[in-house]
Structure 1
Amino acid sequence: MPDHTAPDATPTGRLSRRSLLAASAGAAAAIGAAGLPVLATGTPALANPGNASKLRVEPLIPARNRGIILYSVRDRITAAPDDSGVPYGFERVLARLAEIGYKEIEFAGYTQSTEILGRQITPAEIRKILDDNGLVANGTHASIQPATFQQQLDIAEELGMKNIGTGSDPTSSAYKAEWDAAADIWNELGRQARARGMRLYTHNHDAAYSFLIDRGPRDAQGRQTRSSGIRRLEYFFEITDPRYVFFELDIYWAYVARYKHQKYVNPAGQEVTDLFDPILTVADRTTRFPLFHAKDGDRDTSVPNGYQMTPLGDGDLNFQQFFQTIGERNFHHANWEMDTAPGGADNKGQSLDFAATSYRNMSDLTIYVEK
Structure 2
Amino acid sequence: MSRRQILTASAGAAAAIGAAGIPVLATGAPALAAPGGGNGPLRVEPLIPAGNRGIILYSVRDRITAAPDDSGVPYGFERVLARLAEIGYKEVEFAGYTQNTSILGRQITPAEIRKILDDNGLVANGTHTTINAASFNEQLDIAGTLGMKHIGTGGDPSGSSYKSDWDAAADLWNELGRTARGRGIKLYTHNHDSAYGFLLDVGPLDANGRPTRSTGQRKLEYFFTKTEPEYVFFEMDIYWAYVARFKHHTYTDSRGAARESLFDPILTVAPRTERFPLFHAKDGDKAPSAGDGYNMVPLGEGDINFQQFFEVIGRQDYHHANWEHDGAPGGAGNPGQSINFADISYRNMSELTIYRR
RMSD of equivalent CA atoms? 1.9
Q: Residue 113 of structure 1: which of 97, 100, 109 is its match?
A: 100
Aligned partner of residue 298 in structure 1, secondary structure: strand
The 8 Å contact of residues 191 and 235 in structure 2, kept in 1 or not, is answered as yes
**Does residue 299 of structure 1 match 2:286?**
yes
Distance 1:113 1:225, change over 3 A: same
**Does residue 77 of structure 1 match 2:57?**
no
**Does residue 52 of structure 1 match 2:52?**
no
Partner of 1:275: 262
Partner of 1:168: 155
The 8 Å contact of residues 6 and 307 in structure 2, kept in 1 or not, is answered as no
Q: Any idea what the Cα deviations from partners look like across 1:78-137, whole Å, max 9, x if unmatched?
A: 000001110000000000000000000100000000000000000000000000000000
The 8 Å contact of residues 248 and 292 in structure 1, kept in 2 or not, is answered as yes
Partner of 2:201: 214
**Does residue 187 of structure 1 match 2:167?**
no
**Does residue 347 of structure 1 match 2:322?**
no
Partner of 1:158: 145
The 8 Å contact of residues 263 and 273 in structure 1, kept in 2 or not, is answered as yes
Partner of 1:285: 272
Partner of 2:28: none
Distance 1:120 1:230, change over 3 A: same
Distance 2:21 2:181 in 1: 48
Instruction: Tell me the CA shift for residue 52 of structure 1.
Output: 2.9
Instruction: Tell me the CA shift for residue 17 of structure 1.
Output: 3.0
Distance 1:290 1:270, change over 3 A: same
**Does residue 258 of structure 1 match 2:238?**
no
Number of residues paired by the alignment?
A: 339
Partner of 1:321: 308
**Does residue 309 of structure 1 match 2:296?**
yes
Distance 1:271 1:18 in 2: 38
Aligned AA for 1:52?
A: L
Distance 1:237 1:257 in 2: 17
Distance 1:300 1:217 in 2: 36
Partner of 1:35: none
Instruction: Tell me the CA shift for residue 16 of structure 1.
Output: 4.2
Q: Any idea what the Cα deviations from partners look like across 1:142-175, whole Å, max 9, x if unmatched?
A: 0001000000000000000000000000001000
Instruction: Tell me the CA shift for residue 301 of structure 1.
Output: 1.1
Aligned partner of residue 114 in structure 1, secondary structure: coil
Aligned partner of residue 134 in structure 2, secondary structure: helix
Aligned partner of residue 67 in structure 1, secondary structure: strand
Distance 2:330 2:127 in 1: 23
The 8 Å contact of residues 89 and 346 in structure 2, kept in 1 or not, is answered as yes
Aligned AA for 1:263?
A: T
Aligned ranges for residues 1-12 of structure 1 at < 5 Å?
A: none
Instruction: Tell me the CA shift for residue 18 of structure 1.
Output: 4.7
Segments of 5+ residues of structure 2 without an aligned counterpart are: 24-30, 34-40
Partner of 1:178: 165
Instruction: Tell me the CA shift for residue 216 of structure 1.
Output: 1.9
Distance 2:239 2:79 in 1: 29
Instruction: Tell me the CA shift for residue 19 of structure 1.
Output: 2.4
Instruction: Tell me the CA shift for residue 198 of structure 1.
Output: 0.1
Aligned partner of residue 184 in structure 2, secondary structure: coil
Distance 1:103 1:80 in 2: 25
**Does residue 68 of structure 1 match 2:48?**
no
Aligned ranges for residues 89-104 of structure 1 at < 5 Å?
A: 89-104=76-91
Partner of 2:231: 244
Instruction: Tell me the CA shift for residue 268 of structure 1.
Output: 1.8
Segments of 5+ residues of structure 1 without an aligned counterpart are: 1-14, 23-38
The 8 Å contact of residues 58 and 368 in structure 1, kept in 2 or not, is answered as yes
Distance 1:73 1:327 in 2: 29
Instruction: Tell me the CA shift for residue 49 of structure 1.
Output: 5.5
Instruction: Tell me the CA shift for residue 267 of structure 1.
Output: 1.4
Q: Residue 214 of structure 2: which of 206, 227, 237 is its match?
A: 227
Distance 1:314 1:301 in 2: 17
The 8 Å contact of residues 87 and 93 in structure 1, kept in 2 or not, is answered as yes
